[in-house]
Amino acid sequence: MSNRFSSAFLVTCGLLAAHAAAAAVNPLSSSSGITHVGDAGRRSEAAGGASVAGLQEIVVTATRRKESVQSVPFQVTAMTARDLTRIDAHNLGGFAAYVPGLITDSGAAPGLIAIRGVTMGTGGQLSSAIGLYLDGVPLGASTSFGLGYQSFNIDTFDLERVEVLNGPQGTLYGANSLGGAIKYVAAAPDPHALHGTAETEISHTEHGGTNYGLRGMLNLPFGGGFGALRIDGIDNYDSGYMTDPVYHRNNQGATRNEGGRVQLLLAPTRRLDVRLSVFYQRDGSVGLDTAFRNFVTHRPTIGTYDQAYPLEQPAVSSLMLYSAQINWRAPWFTLTSITGDQADHGYSLSDESLVYDALLASFGAASDPFQLPVDTNTHRTTQEVRLVSRQEGRLRWILGGYYDHESTNEIVDLFDRANAGGTFFGLVPFNADLPSSYREVAGYADATISLTGRLSLGLGVRYSTQHQSYQETTFGLFATGSNAVYDSPVAVTNQSVTTYSINPKYQLTPDVMLYVRAASGFRPGGPNFVLFSGLHNPSFAPDKLWNYELGEKSSLFDRRVQFDFDVYDIEWHRIQLVVNNGGVNQLENGNNARVQGAEMSFRARLTQRLTLDGSAAYTHAWLTGAVPVLEIGYSGARLPMSPRFNFALLGTYRFKLAAGHPAALTVSDRWLGQRTEGFGTSASARYSLPSFNTVDFDLALDLTHALSADLYLKNAFDTAGQVDATTLANEYDPAAPTPVIISQPRTVGIVLRANF
């Protein structure tokens, strides 16, 4: 089945599911008055079980086995479908601010993710420091050639939950999980009940336009508990809110994402179940959600939401994922096999006029519009097999093996659009074809030993080997000095890494746990991009870190209050740095860094009607020495995108309307502290991103037992928060405008939801 046909099939199935779910709703057909919404829990917060005295227990799989989130001996944030609905979070950008220590510049489009300050910023890293998973399958590319630092923005519709694991997860989750991991867990097919959901959403964004969403899910059981088919689909449009008054363009940054998921669950026996899934999502955008600021004063150079790019900047990214999960439960252990086969595609036409005009101005060249097309395709196949012991017993263990094979082809061009054929002085500026491959084989073991009735010790180890090959074909003025083609020999690297975890925990009381954790993580090294043989570093090594953590988790006052707190100290060694060597961006291993911080989260049911949630983080991240290759001549330089403080506060009050319909009002306040987009060097100053605050409101109404509505107001005070910036042009011309990502302006909308 071709990717194009598969994509169309999934989108069609999803939309049919939405219409079928809506058509099947009959408010008079149920005598029980119960809203059946499936195990995803996708319904109005108004129906959220206010009669329950204690807080609902959330079960996660952060440790590769099912257990309460309050029993996991490290910081884990679990956001259920109901939590995501309550804050109207459709993607990573919608929920990131509610997770302590999680920072992203992502809105509706793919972007950078950082946990606990482990990042070198948007322009400073090419591969991810965060593991990203969908139903146990790792997503994206492991290497810099597949643009691994750009996280694919999974839509949250019909998810059971999202789990954010803070701190390195090198033993159980492997490569790239230096700062932590994010797990998207889809709602599984339900073999016991026919049910579905249909959602329609419409909203308006200040300085932008009208947005819409159409989402649907249909669950079809086979009968007898043998299995079920679950189909869901999405079609969302965001109008964008940037204007280009110079080149007469509106709604810059507009995005549309569409896709769907088909899952088949077969459970022929009580011991065996098989879950087959096909997932597709495509995100397309027009222009960037950046506004121009003065590099020194930070004031708008045109208007608060204005930019000026000579060229249009469309972009598209897509993910097609086929996966199979098999669970066989023996008396003493469970055997799990997870197979994934995915195709990642990204294409963008970016306007690089600011950078190249600033660079060429020093040579007296005139300003021209320069365009950089980048086309990246990655095919990745993964296989994991693990044995997990039963839950009971003094010794609980996990044994697993992992295989990963990736092939990436990246094509990068540069054109001067002022001239026919995009030439510059009669020559193509730059063209590169960069095929590469990555193969990893790993084995891991994890054990938890109960030393006494209260004290247990967790131990983990993982050994992995990585093989990479890479070749480049380049030509053009900035590549070879002419249009002569340069074919490099195949570059090969072979590396191996061992990671460890030590994790004792002590159950002070049945509801209070203390834990200590020491864990390591790594990011693969590999071959480098070069233009001429012997140019600086032909390869770079893995970077590694150790995380030392002390924390507590408690459930208080008859489990009406949950409170988690931790402090940590991270030592990051041989950081992978993006270095410009002779006009060529390469990766080098630089100096070390240190991150020290604290995280806190709580959830409290203050009364039957009032629930309060909150999270906060303190992060102090810095380089422990000078980095001459980055022109940083001092120790203590602050790591980019690492606010000292950030917090979120969320309150929900449940009540009934005059007609007796349940309702809930949610108010949230998010504060993101001051950050820097990069390092201050001897060549240029850094751009400081000021702190900002965002306040949201949501009113959830249960209109009938099957129909509900959510009315929301996001960014009520229309704060123009500066999220991230790009200062490459300012290194050559301090007077050049700085493109700055601006947070979503005030948006008011409504979601209508039908369940049966």
Q: What is the pLDDT of residues 56-107, one digit of tens each?
A: 889 999 999 999 999 999 999 999 999 999 999 999 989 999 999 999 886 5
How many whole angstroms separate alpha carbon 718 and alpha carbon 675?
21
Asked if residues 191 and 267 have their Cβ atoms less than 8 Å apart, the reply is yes
pLDDT score at 51: 39
Among candidate residues 726, 719, 599, the one with its CA nearest the CA of residue 671: 719
How many whole angstroms separate alpha carbon 285 and alpha carbon 301?
24
Average pLDDT over residues 619-640: 87
pLDDT score at 276: 98
DSSP bridge partners of 467: 439, 494
Per the listing, tokens 């399958």 go with: 137
DSSP bridge partners of 322: 278, 341
The DSSP call for residue 685 is: P
| Distances from the Cα of 166 to the Cα of 13, 180, 400, 633, angstroms | 36, 5, 22, 31
The DSSP call for residue 7 is: H
Domain 3-755: CATH superfamily is: TonB-dependent receptor, beta-barrel domain (2.40.170.20)
How many whole angstroms separate alpha carbon 307 and alpha carbon 377?
30
DSSP 3-state of 166: strand
Average pLDDT over residues 258-285: 96
pLDDT score at 441: 98
DSSP 3-state of 66: coil
pLDDT score at 16: 40
How many whole angstroms separate alpha carbon 164 and alpha carbon 89?
15
How many whole angstroms separate alpha carbon 337 and alpha carbon 324?
8
* Largest distance between two CA atoms of the chain: 80
Enumerate residues 6+ apart whose C-beta is below 8 A from 102.
77, 96, 113, 114, 115, 164, 166
pLDDT at residue 502 greater than cutoff 50: yes
Terminal CA-to-CA distance of the chain, rounded, Å? Answer: 33
Q: Average per-residue pLDDT in the chain?
A: 87
Average pLDDT over residues 303-312: 96
State pLDDT tens for residues 463-491: 999 999 999 898 888 877 788 888 888 88
pLDDT score at 13: 46
Asked if residues 687 and 677 have their Cβ atoms less than 8 Å apart, the reply is yes
State pLDDT tens for residues 514-540: 999 999 999 998 888 776 555 567 788
Buried b (16+ CB within 10 A) or exposed e, 465-495: ebbbbbbbebbbbbbbeeeeebebeebebeb
| Distances from the Cα of 13 to the Cα of 8, 264, 280, angstroms | 9, 13, 11
State pLDDT tens for residues 174-187: 999 999 999 999 99
State pLDDT tens for residues 396-408: 999 999 999 999 9
Q: Is 634 exposed, middle or buried (0-12, 13-18, 19+ CB in 10 A)?
A: exposed
pTM value is 0.91
Asked if residues 401 and 376 have their Cβ atoms less than 8 Å apart, the reply is no
| Distances from the Cα of 367 to the Cα of 293, 348, 361, 371, 727, angstroms | 20, 22, 7, 13, 18
CA dihedral (731, 732, 736, 739) positive or negative: negative
pLDDT at residue 7 greater than cutoff 50: no
pLDDT score at 681: 57
How many whole angstroms separate alpha carbon 436 and alpha carbon 449?
43
pLDDT at residue 627 greater than cutoff 90: no
pLDDT at residue 40 greater than cutoff 90: no
How many whole angstroms separate alpha carbon 35 and alpha carbon 575?
52
What does the angle CA 201 – CA 104 – CA 592 come to, to the nearest 5 degrees? 170
The DSSP string of 315-348 is EEEEEEEEEEEEEEE-SSEEEEEEEEEEEEEEEE
Type of residue at 486 = Y
pLDDT score at 620: 96
pLDDT score at 536: 62
pLDDT band at 38 (very low <50, low <70, confident <90, very high): very low
DSSP 3-state of 366: coil
Enumerate residues 6+ apart whose C-beta is below 8 A from 413.
372, 373, 374, 422, 430, 431, 432
The domain spans of the chain are 3-755
Q: Residue 21: how many CB atoms within 10 A of its CB?
A: 24
The lowest-confidence range among 321-335, 481-495, 545-559, 665-679 is: 481-495
The token pair at 572 is 């990051």
Enumerate residues 6+ apart whose C-beta is below 8 A from 392.
none
pLDDT band at 18 (very low <50, low <70, confident <90, very high): very low
Asked if residues 227 and 264 have their Cβ atoms less than 8 Å apart, the reply is yes
How many whole angstroms separate alpha carbon 307 and alpha carbon 350?
14
The token pair at 691 is 């702190």
The lowest-confidence range among 289-293, 365-369, 409-413 is: 365-369
pLDDT score at 573: 94
Share of the chain above pLDDT 90, in %: 68
How many whole angstroms separate alpha carbon 410 and alpha carbon 350?
15
pLDDT at residue 410 greater than cutoff 60: yes
